[in-house]
Amino acid sequence: MRVLIVSGIWPPDVGGPASHAPELAAFLRARGHEVEAVVTADAAPAPEAYPVRWVDRATPRGLRHARCVALIRSRATRADVVYATSMLGRASLAAALARTPLVAKLVADEAYERARRLGLFAGDLDAFQRHEGGVRVRALRVARNRALRRVDRLVCPSSYLASLAVTWGVPEGRIVVLPNPAPALPELPSRAAARERLELSGPTLAFAGRITRQKALEVALGALARVEGVALVVAGDGPELEEARAEAQRLRLDDRVRFLGALDRQGVLTLFRAADASLISSTWENFPHTVVESLAVGTPVVATAVGGVAEIVRDGENGLLAPPGDVEALARAIRRIVADPMLRERLAACAPASVAELAPERVYGRLEEILREAARR
Q: In degrees to the nearest 10, what's the CA dihedral of 181, 127, 9, 308?
A: -10
Write down the pLDDT at residue 377.
77
Instruction: Specify whether the CB–CB gap between 299 and 277 falls below 8 A.
Output: yes
CATH architecture type of domain 2-181+359-375: 3-Layer(aba) Sandwich (3.40)
Write down the pLDDT at residue 301.
98
> What are the pLDDT digits (tens) for 297-349?
999 999 999 989 999 999 999 999 999 999 999 999 999 999 999 999 999 99
Instruction: Specify whether the CB–CB gap between 46 and 55 falls below 8 A.
Output: no
Distance CA 121, CA 133 (A): 8
CATH architecture type of domain 191-357: 3-Layer(aba) Sandwich (3.40)
Task: Looking at the chain, list the stretches that DSSP marks H as alpha helix, in order from N- to C-terminal side.
Answer: 16-30, 61-76, 88-98, 110-117, 125-130, 135-149, 159-167, 191-197, 217-225, 241-250, 265-274, 289-296, 327-339, 341-354, 360-375
Write down the pLDDT at residue 271.
97
Residue 38 DSSP SS3: strand
The ranges assigned to domains in the chain are 2-181+359-375, 191-357
Write down the pLDDT at residue 352.
96
Residue 233 is inside which H or E element, if any?
A: strand 231-235
Please give the model's pTM, rounded to 2 decimal places. Answer: 0.86
Calculate helix-pair angle for 327-339, 217-225, nearest 10 degrees: 60
Dihedral angle sign, alpha carbons of residues 43, 44, 47, 48: positive
Q: In degrees to the nearest 10, what's the CA dihedral of 165, 170, 175, 180?
A: -30
Instruction: Profile the chain (377 residues) by mean pLDDT over runs of 10 residues.
Output: 96 82 96 98 95 97 96 98 95 97 94 92 90 94 94 96 96 95 90 95 94 93 97 94 96 95 92 98 90 96 95 96 97 97 97 94 97 93
Write down the pLDDT at residue 138.
95
Domain 2-181+359-375 and domain 191-357 have a common topology: yes
Distance CA 129, CA 135 (A): 15
